[in-house]
Amino acid sequence: MAIIVNLDVMMAKRKMSLNELSEKVGLTLANLSILKTGKAKAIRFSTLEAICKVLDCQPGDILEFREDDFVSSP
């Protein structure tokens, strides 16, 4: 996948557990886990905004595009 999710990195920098982030953002542990592992197909801007507010970061701190990982179709 070309979009890399660095949520675990930001959580570690803020010393925040998945449980704590889940409570503060208002998302289920299951949904946050899917996002954290990079298995999510999409994220709502409102969710991204809430995560950024809680972690005091920018969207680019959580989401990263790596062109090397991008596979184009023929």
pTM, rounded to two decimals: 0.85
Retrieve residue 44's tokens.
């709502």
State the distance between the two ends of the chain, measured CA to CA, in whole angstroms: 17
CA distance 72 to 57: 31
**Which pLDDT tens digit goes with each residue over 21-43?**
999 999 999 999 999 999 999 99
Question: Could you give the domains of the chain?
Answer: 3-68 (1.10.260.40)
**Which pLDDT tens digit goes with each residue over 41-73?**
999 999 999 999 999 999 999 999 988 755 555
